[in-house]
Structure 1
Amino acid sequence: MPVSPQVLQPSGWPAPKGYANGMAADGLIVVTGGVIGWDTAGRLADGFVAQVRQALENIVAILAEAGAKPEHLVRLTWYVVDMEEYLANLKALGQVYRDVFGAHYPAMALVQVVRLVEKAARVEIEATAVVPR
């Protein structure tokens, strides 16, 4: 197994944009719950892109508790309440993602849901990281 996460890209497949088809890693597994875009006082950021930024920053804070960094991420699952809102903000979301996580793109899934537990939340993200030992 690799010492740090390795992107799995089957030969002949088109390169994905902004995510990996698969990842392999060996080490300490770090898993978050569903993370939303609220601050330490429990206030949700204003707007979809701002909530994504805060959720990603919250994930970084959780990872740090285990000595993990964004480059250790192997999987993200995004839950959005409005797919059109996500698609309409791709450029801004890409910039926010790179600002917080850099140019590391793990395996990702994006799912539209009817609603999230926090009614005003627009996005919830689960993360899995593997820290090499």
Structure 2
Amino acid sequence: MTTERIDPPALSPATGFSHAVVATGSRLVFLAGQTALDRDGAVLGDTLPEQFERALGNLLTALRAAGGTPADLARVTVYATDVAAYRAHAPELGRVWRCLAGRDYPAMAVVQVVRLWDEAATVELDGFAVLP
């Protein structure tokens, strides 16, 4: 797979995401929403950064099981129960992202939701990847 990340100069600078990702490959992987659940179904982490790290780790575990890598991610949507808290923790969340997924950012969006399926969850990530 090849990806081309496009950040037009006419748009605001992309920090921690890409404005567009052109992906070519032969296999699409659609990743279900992942929260901070452990294998027993319990939400781990008391803070947003702790839950984000676990949710991203879960998303990447599913991606790797399908044969992909973080660089194959074309799109990720983050659902947060408190966007103000997400923005306040953005530098720390960025460090978590870079540690787990690297610096090849997919196209991303953050959406505030009233609540998630698991009431204790504060963040959920889903997305899709393009694999060779």
TM range (shorter): over 0.9
Counterpart-to-counterpart distance in 2, 1:83 and 1:49: 13
- Could you say what secondary structure the match of 1:38 adopts? coil
Provide TM-score, normalisation by structure 2.
Answer: 0.92
- Sequence identity (%): 35
Q: Which residue of 1 aligns with 2:16?
A: 18
Worse-superposed segment, 44-53 or 7-16: 7-16
1:9 Cα shift?
A: 2.6
Q: Counterparts in 2 of 1:39-50, with a 5 A limit?
A: 39-46=38-45, 47-50=47-50
- 1:87-123 Cα offsets, whole Å, 9 max, x none, are 1111111111111101111100110011111111000
1:12 Cα shift?
A: 3.9
- Could you say what secondary structure the match of 1:30 adopts? strand
- Could you say what secondary structure the match of 1:116 adopts? coil
Q: Give the aligned length.
A: 130
Provide TM-score, normalisation by structure 1.
Answer: 0.91
Runs of 4+ in 1 over 4 A off after TM superposition: none
Q: Which residue of 2 aligns with 1:31?
A: 30
Instruction: Quickly say closer, same or farther: Cα 1:11–1:89, change in 2 above 3 A.
Output: closer
- Could you say what secondary structure the match of 1:20 adopts? coil
1:11 Cα shift?
A: 4.8
- 1:1-54 Cα offsets, whole Å, 9 max, x none, are xx4111123354343111001111122111111111111122212221111001
Worse-superposed segment, 8-17 or 47-56: 8-17
1:85 Cα shift?
A: 1.1
- 1:58-96 Cα offsets, whole Å, 9 max, x none, are 111101121100000010000000011101111111111
- Could you say what secondary structure the match of 2:29 adopts? strand
- Could you say what secondary structure the match of 1:99 adopts? helix
Q: Which amino acid counterpart does residue 73 of structure 1 have in structure 2?
A: L
Q: Which has the higher strand share?
A: 2
Q: Which residue of 2 aligns with 1:115?
A: 115
